Amino acid sequence: MDIADWRRKIDELDRRLVELINQRAECAHEIGKLKRNSEMPIYEPDREKIVFDNIARHNPGPLSNIELRQIYERLIDVMRQIQRDEMAPETNAGSDHTELGTND
């Protein structure tokens, strides 16, 4: 395979990744709705550990767990913003999203 072939493969992987990342966002959105209507706490710090443990346990390489975690920290940060907006869309628009932990 030459470089163009590998890039075609990357572009194809990216299309599948975009689909799965959006499915994950939909799940975070649904959890946000359920939390809004329940007595569950907004912030559950143990959940982030479970997510990182899950990806590390299923990491086949070549990425190290540290590299994978670097990517996931950003992914979770974006999901957290979505869910926070879902939790309190009226009051939080435009505010920053830095003080909450992982909510998915």
Nearer to a copy of itself, 15 or 94 (CB): 15
Q: How far apart are the first and last CA of the chain?
A: 39
Q: What is the per-residue binding string for a copy of itself in 57-96, x denoting contact by CB under 8 A?
A: -xxxxxx---xx-xx-xxx-xx--xx--------------
Is residue 1 within the footprint of a copy of itself (CB under 8 A)? yes
Q: What is the per-residue binding string for a copy of itself in 14-53, x denoting contact by CB under 8 A?
A: xxxxxxxxxxxxxxxxxx--xx--x-x------x--xx--
Distance CA 20, CA 93 (A): 26
* Structure token pair of residue 4: 């163009």
Q: What does each C-alpha distance from 75 to 4, 7, 30, 55, 90 come to in angstroms?
A: 28, 23, 17, 13, 24
Q: Contact at 8 Å (CB) between 79 and 26?
A: no
DSSP state of 5: H
- Minimal distance, residue 92 CB to a copy of itself, in Å: 16
Q: Which residues bind a copy of itself (CB under 8 A)?
A: 1-3, 6-7, 9-11, 13-31, 34-35, 38, 40, 47, 50-51, 54-55, 58-63, 67-68, 70-71, 73-75, 77-78, 81-82, 104
